[in-house]
Each structure stands twice: as C-alpha cells, then as structure tokens.
A and B are shown apart, each in its own frame.
Chain A
Amino acid sequence: MSQRVSGPEEARRASPSRPRKPFLTQRLTDILTHSSLASRLALGILVLLTAFPLYWAVVASFTPTATLFRQPSLWPTHFILDHYRALFTTRDFWLPIRNSIVVAGSTTIFCVVVGSLSAYALARLHFRGKGPILGFILAVSMFPQISIVSPLYLLLRALHLINTYPGLILPYLTFAMPLTVWLLVGYFRQLPRDLEEAALVDGASRWQSFTKVILPLSVPGLATTAILTFIYSWNEFLFALSFTVGPSRQTVPVAIALFRGQYQVPWGEILAAAVVATVPVAVMVLAFQRRIVQGLTAGAVKG
C-alpha cells in the first residue's frame, strides 16, 4: 500500500462519478475521501475540538476565581499560581499522586511480569485449550466492574485490606491482567518464528528461548503494554472510590472527584488538579504516541 501515494487524486480526476446518491452526500464523501484541503480542515477542526477543553482548563487554572466567575475570557488576562500553590500546600495533592503512582506502578509491574509468561505460552506454545483460554481472558476484560464491586468489598473487608495498597492493586488486576495478556499475545505473535526456532535447534529450552530471545526482542512491546496498563490503572475510578477510606490512600481521580461539593466550590483548584493529573499521561502520550497507537490498535482493548 505504500507505493500508491497519488492514487486517490488520480481516481478523482478519472472518475465520472456514478450519480447514485444525492448531491450533498456525494459531495461530502468526495470532499472527505479526496480533497486534501478538506481532510486537513477536518483534522484542523478535530485538533481544535479536542484541544479546546484542555486549553480552557489550563487557562482557567491560572485565572483568579473572581475573574473566572465575573467575566470568563478565552484569552488569559492575568496569570496567578494561587490555585496550584493551594493544591500542593493546603490540599497536599502530592499524597494522591503518590498513591496513584504506587498503585498503578505495582499493578503494571505485576501484570507485565505475570502476564508476559502466559502471553508467551498463549502466543507461542502448542497446547490444548488455548482458544478457550484466550476467549475467557477477553471475556473477563469485558466484565462490568460494578458487577464485582460488592463481593470484592466484602472480601477486602474480611482480609482487612480496605484502604491499603494491596486492597487496590488486587481489584485492579481484574481489568489490568486481561489487558496485558491480550496485548502481549498480540505482540509475541508478530515476532518472527525463525529466531526462536533457531535457538531451540541450538539446544535452548523453551524457558531460555523465552528469556533470551523473545523477551529482549519484546522490549518495545512490553513497554507499550506497561504504558497502557499504567494509564488504565491511573485513570480507574470506581474501585478506587469504593475501596479507599479517606485521603490516605485515595488515588488522583478520587481525590479530584471529591473536591467537588466542598464549601468553597474551588473550581480554580479543581482545574489545577485536573491539569496536574493530565500531565503524566500527556507526557506519556507525547513520548510514546506511536507505540500507544500500535498497542491500542493491535490489542484493541478499552477498559
């Protein structure tokens, strides 16, 4: 597909367009599929629309509350840092950030380590029941979280794990584990078979071929999987809301959601927190955009 860059242009010029559709639809698809200007325009709109709420949040988070509510302006009038200062001093926003990093980080490490083992088996080994196991893992990833919230709550309560890090990491495995396995199976399958077979022929065991051949080759895939797992865990809300007690273990989304309803209706601080919560994922997206897209479209899992 790489060799035909100018294909569509040619097609448009050559085509007498069969008049089977009303003019407007015809015209619209014509524009979308063939006009470079129009698709640029569409993309421009897309970028603007997606960026606008974020832009507005950033501007508002630097705007004094009084200005914000008197006369909202799309262009920043004067910048203040008060909301950010308040966020990190009076509200101690480092705490939820630390909690989120610990929980999302541990979940990611655990899932990638354990998940890569089974993903290797599912992608590379021949054994019976592979199909059903894959289907089962996929099915679990589609579980509505709310369906298991109450037993997990009772279970964690019985184990005295409410409001602890393990008490969040364990529930997070329900969605993170299937996600990592699914992504890694897809990745391992893409690797050429020759190298591994060569290693086996050379006398390596399966375990060796996995650790010495497959894993080193899979660093990009493992990284992608880790990033996606981290993002999903970072963003999780329902479990974090249900299984934490007070700020000591609250994660970032829960802390932000519960800002609301406090006496001051602190929109400035809420938006500052929103910006802070967005920065890590935005940085990851910036740094690994290509990989993330590959991972997403290969695994096509959305939690």
Chain B
Amino acid sequence: MNRQRDHEIARGGTGKVATHSVATAPSVASPLSPLSCRPPHSDARFAGVLVSPTLLVIALVAIFPLGWTVWESLHRHDLRLPWLGRPFVGLDNYVRIAHDPRFWGALAHTAFFTGVTVSLELVLGLVFALAMNRAFRGRGLVRVAVLVPWAIPTVVAALLWRFIFGANAGIANAVLADLGVIHHPVVWFVHAATAWVPVILADVWKTTPFVALLLLAGLQNIDHALYEAAAVDGAGPWWQLTRITIPLLRPAILLVLIFRTLDAFRVFDLIYVLTGGGPGTSTEPLALYTFNALLQNLQFGYGAALSVVIFLITFGLALLYIKGLGAGVTGVSQ
C-alpha cells in the first residue's frame, strides 16, 4: 500500500520519497511482475531518454564529420592556394588516388605492416597465453609486466625503440656486436628493410600483451573436462592443441584478429615518431600519407578522399571478418 504510493510518486518524477527501502531484498513476492506493472512502451521511452545523449554525441563528433569528409572529397580544396577556391570536381580526387604511386606504396606498406605484426602477435600471444594459463606464483608480476607496454603512450614506446635502434648510442647495435652478429653498427633507419625492424618490434612489444590477455580469457573459458577426456582417449598435446584449444579459442582468436587488424591498419603514431615514413617513403603507411596531405600540404580535398578510402577499406575488412566469423565474436565479449 505504502509501497504502491512510493512507486507512483517516483514514476511521477519527484524521486525523493523512494530513497529508502529499495535496496533491501523483498520478503513478500509481489503479485505483479515488474514487466507487467507498466506498459511495454514505458521502457522504450525511458531507454530513448537514456540512450539519446550518447547517440547525439556520436552523431555530432563522428557521423557528421564523416559525412563532411565524403562531401569534401568531391572538391578541390587546397587551403594553401586560396585563389583556387573550392570547386566541385566530382570523383577527380579518387581518380588521382588511383594513379598515385605513393598511395599504392602506402597501401602496400600498411598491408605489410598489418600482416606481419598481426601474425607475429597472434602466435606469440598464443604462446604466452598458454604459458600464463597455469596457476603459478608471481602471476601478478607477469600481469603488470605485460600490461605496462600496453598502457604507455604509443609515442613513448616509439621513442624508446628509436633510441634502442640508434646507430651510434643504440643498445641494439651494442648487443648485436657483443653477440658477434654484426661487425659494424647497423644504420637501421636508412634501409627500407632494416627500418621495418624497429617498427615491427615496437608494435609487437606493445601489443602482444593485449593479445595474450584476450586469448588467456578465452583459454580460461575452456572446460578442463575436455582435455581430461582427450587424455583418457590417449590424445597427445598437439592433438589437444589443434583439436580442442584452437577450435574452442576460435571466437577469441577472431576477436583478436578483428581488433588488431583494424588497429594495425590505421597505424600512425608509431611510424610518425619512429621513421617518419622514411627512408624515402618506404615505411609510410596510409594514415601518415593522409595526415601529410591534410595537415602538411593542406590538400583538404585530396586528403579527404584518402580518408574515405581508408574508411572504406577498414569497413570492408570489418565486414569481411564479421561475415567470416559469424556469431562467434559475441561469444567471448560477453
């Protein structure tokens, strides 16, 4: 009776009266279930109120700018050449992209970087996840050790690796020389092939922990009974790995693949700091090329077209994965 009144008042919006007694568990079951005591549309209206600020914000800062980028990409707009104005040029910028060797180079570098880092991180991450998936002392230490590289700014990670691979004072050269691997200091950043080494190492260093943790979460969901049954059947560890662990880990692996691929594909900070895209443009990824077109050369039309291309590729990759993985993804994320 009293309860009913509180309920009404609270629904009316004053909200003050109901401050007591809510958290206590009910001792008497109410004849009315919570769902049936209000019409179904009330939830929807309330949900709308709750969700709309978020959607509004996202629309303002993400969707609207994206639309703007698409529109801008159909114009010639060089902020440095104000006398040219901002003429509509249709798909001209996209045609230019198709004939731009630097774009194709950047695309190839991005794909290369993505392929190499994601596969390395997946394999290493799996190895470390398997190792971590055993109860042992010092687990906290390992967790901290792997989390710190993940948590520090990418810019900082890139600077550390740039320092490590410096030609003169770099510790990498010193260590390799001590080991007898090299006899002269290697100038890592002047050859296309060697410049990739610090770039890839830095990314693997920073991101493998994240991959390992995700896979570890997946591993912990696997029922041990499966392994026991397999062991009873006389299955070896390889069989167990390929027939039990990896198949059951599939959702986690797919998740890792999605996040890491999309992430690696938009790599910017790391290469901006480590190589600046050099030597020449041989480590320049798409995001850096686009950034240069936009904020260095102020070619907003052309840069916007490049942005749209990156967006479409990312979107395509995401779709491809989600299609490929099907419902598997949601399995782990919940």
Residues on A lying within 8 angstroms of B by beta carbon are: 1, 3-5, 7-8, 10-12, 14-18, 20-21, 25-26, 29-30, 32-34, 36, 38-40, 42-43, 46-47, 49-51, 53-54, 56-57, 60, 68-69, 72, 74, 114-115, 117-118, 120-122, 125-128, 130, 133, 136-137, 139-140, 142-155, 170-171, 173-174, 177-178, 181, 186, 189, 195, 197-209, 212-213, 216, 231, 234-235, 237-238, 242, 252-254, 256-257, 260, 267, 270-271, 274, 277-278, 281-282, 284-286, 289-290, 292-293, 296-303
The CA of A150 and the CA of B295, in the complex, are separated in Å by 8
Q: Are B153 and A253 in contact (CB under 8 A)?
A: yes
CB distance from B172 to the nearest CB of A (A): 10
Q: CB < 8 Å: which of A34, A150, A204, A257 contacts B69?
A: A150
Closest to A15 in B: B236
Instruction: Name the residue in B18, B69, B225 with the highest tally of chain A Cβ atoms < 10 Å from its Cβ.
Output: B18
Say whether, besides A292-B147, A296-B210, A140 and B155 are in contact (CB < 8 Å).
no
Pairs across A and B, CB under 8 Å, 17 listed: A14-B231, A16-B236, A33-B240, A43-B136, A46-B128, A50-B146, A121-B51, A151-B69, A151-B72, A153-B294, A170-B61, A174-B61, A178-B58, A200-B34, A203-B18, A256-B159, A300-B255
Say whether, besides A57-B160, A212-B22, A274-B159, A289 and B147 are in contact (CB < 8 Å).
yes
Q: CB < 8 Å: which of A5, A32, A115 contacts B135?
A: A5
Say whether, besides A33-B240, A46-B142, A206 and B43 are in contact (CB < 8 Å).
yes
One of B90-98, B111-119, B305-313 at the interface: B305-313
- Is there a chain A Cβ closer than 8 Å to B238's Cβ? yes
CB distance from B219 to the nearest CB of A (A): 10
Total residue contacts A-B, CB cutoff 8 A: 408
Q: Are A18 and B239 in contact (CB under 8 A)?
A: yes
Q: Are A173 and B61 in contact (CB under 8 A)?
A: yes
CB distance from B45 to the nearest CB of A (A): 9
CB distance from B162 to the nearest CB of A (A): 8
Say whether, besides A32-B130, A148-B69, A139 and B318 are in contact (CB < 8 Å).
yes
The majority secondary structure among interface residues of chain B is helix
Q: Are B153 and A203 in contact (CB under 8 A)?
A: no
Q: CB < 8 Å: which of A139, A150, A286 contacts B304?
A: A150
Residues of B within 8 A of A201 (CB): 26, 29-30, 32-34
Instruction: Name the residue in A4, A114, A195, A297 with the highest tally of chain B Cβ atoms < 10 Å from its Cβ.
Output: A297
Indicate with 1 or 0, residue by residue over B115-140, a CB within 8 angstroms of chain A CB atoms: 00000000000011011101110001
The CA of A174 and the CA of B69, in the complex, are separated in Å by 15
What count of chain B residues pass the 8 Å CB interface test?
A: 137
Say whether, besides A197-B34, A237-B268, A117 and B50 are in contact (CB < 8 Å).
yes
Residues on B lying within 8 angstroms of A by beta carbon are: 3-4, 6-7, 10-11, 15, 18-19, 21-26, 29-30, 32-35, 37, 40, 42-44, 46-48, 50-55, 57-58, 61-66, 68-69, 72, 127-128, 130-132, 134-136, 140-149, 151-157, 159-161, 163-164, 168-171, 174, 205, 209-210, 212-214, 216-217, 220, 222-225, 227-228, 230-232, 234-241, 245, 255, 259-260, 262-263, 265-266, 268-269, 272-273, 286-287, 290-291, 294-295, 300, 303-304, 307-308, 310-311, 314, 318, 332-334
